[in-house]
Amino acid sequence: MFKFGLEREKAMEEKLNNIRLICERSSSDADKRVEEVIQVLNDHRNGE
């Protein structure tokens, strides 16, 4: 059980890092960045 918690925490940390990278891009297409962040969060919620 404890190992599963660590794996989930590591996966969330990786997803948060992906979100940070998406948000830091110098793209003027903010809507697309928001959609990508939402997709990362939905994937996490769905266990991917």
State yes or no: pLDDT of 42 exceeds 80: yes
Higher pLDDT, 33 or 48: 33
Residue whose token pair is 């989930």: 8
Q: Where are the domains of the chain?
A: 2-45
Q: What Rg do the C-alpha atoms of the chain give, in angstroms?
A: 13
Global pTM? 0.54
Distance separating the N- and C-terminal Cα atoms of the chain: 18
Per-residue pLDDT tens for 4-38?
778 878 888 888 888 888 887 766 677 787 888 88
Residue 31 is predicted with a pLDDT of: 79
Q: Confidence class of residue 46 from pLDDT cuts 50, 70 and 90?
A: confident
Residue 44 is predicted with a pLDDT of: 77
φ, ψ dihedrals at 46, nearest 5°: -85, 0
